[in-house]
Amino acid sequence: NAGVTQTPKFQVLKTGQSMTLQCAQDMNHEYMSWYRQDPGMGLRLIHYSVGAGITDQGEVPNGYNVSRSTTEDFPLRLLSAAPSQTSVYFCASSYLGTGNYGYTFGSGTRLTVV
Amino acid sequence: EDQVTQSPEALRLQEGESSSLNCSYTVSGLRGLFWYRQDPGKGPEFLFTLYSAGEEKEKERLKATLTKKESFLHITAPKPEDSATYLCAVQARDSGGSNYKLTFGKGTLLTVNP
């Protein structure tokens, strides 16, 4: 089982450049989300989706766009990169509904904006 | 606003020295409390979900407990391989898709020396 796959693992961008972080899951999870993790700040929610065609903002959505055209994929787009977006980005997915459903996380993308 | 506070920020133990990590939370109606383990350079790995006060879950040397205001992760006779950052997160009862958002604490860095 691949689980949640994130690409790339590392990326360096110049200020003002745009890019897309890819996230794919093969577990047929309805719920997908993007978090950023910064030292001393913990994991903060950027955007999330409860199914294809449905997305919503989290705690820190500014500067990021998402779309969900399929159940499997949930790409995160940085529109115009800024040094404040230097972070480690994690994609996570889960079933919806009741039950002992923890999130499954990807291995992360470490992004540096110079 | 949901809040999660973990203590201590860092804990150093000798192999075999049992201890507990604390997670205190404020949430407008708890749907679930989650514990994760995160190794350096990797995504968080799901450990437990707790749903109601008085509930306990166990896995190997780890036991998680829940009260109305906090959760404890008890580590019995830890080994060096238990060294990691342990994250606590809450999921609030909310309307619509935001039911599934997790709010994370900043984590406790556990180091177990041989």
Nearest CA to B110 out of B46, B37, B60 is that of B37
* Chain B residues with beta carbon closer than 8 angstroms to that of A100: 49
pLDDT at B97 over 60: no
Interface test with chain B among A27, A33, A35, A105, by most B beta carbons within 10 Å: A105
Q: DSSP secondary-structure letter at A28?
A: -
- pLDDT of A10-54, one tens digit each? 999 999 999 999 999 999 999 999 999 998 888 999 999 999 999
Report the pLDDT value the prediction gives residue A2, as an integer from 0 to 100.
76
Average pLDDT over chain B, rounded to an integer: 93
Q: DSSP secondary-structure letter at B98?
A: G
Average pLDDT over chain A, rounded to an integer: 93
A112 token code pair: 């540096």
Q: DSSP of A32-96, one letter per residue?
A: EEEEEEETTTEEEEEEEEEETTEEEE-SS-TTEEE--SSSSB--EEESS--GGG-EEEEEEEE--
CA contacts within 13 A on the Cβ side of A113 = 17
Mean pLDDT across the stretch A61-72? Answer: 96
Handedness of CA B34, B37, B38, B42 (dihedral sign): negative
